[in-house]
Amino acid sequence: MSKKTNTLLFILGATVLNVLVMALCFMLLLFIYARLLAPLLPETVQAWGLPLILIGSMALSFVLYRIILKQLVKRVTMEKYFAPLFSWKKRS
């Protein structure tokens, strides 16, 4: 496969991975919230739980995604397998 094909497949795979990680983080945070925190809070405050869980799962998935990518970059020579997304060629 060419470098451009590898790059496209990597971007698609990384996007799917990020969505799955976010969904898992959302379910985990929702489970923790429903079991531990929601019974202790008044009903007026419970309504804020879902938006905060969504934002928290986005932030947590971003952090986990960055950690996974840093580990991948340490192990794989990216220039060998992937084409750059943007080429910075000078125009004449």
- Separation of alpha carbons 54 and 45, rounded Å: 16
Q: Supply φ then ψ for residue 91, to 5 degrees.
A: -85, 145
Local structure of residue 86 (DSSP, 8 states): S
pTM: 0.77
**What is the per-residue pLDDT across 7-65, written as a single tens digit (0 to 9) for each?**
888 889 989 999 999 999 999 999 999 899 888 888 888 888 889 999 999 999 999 99
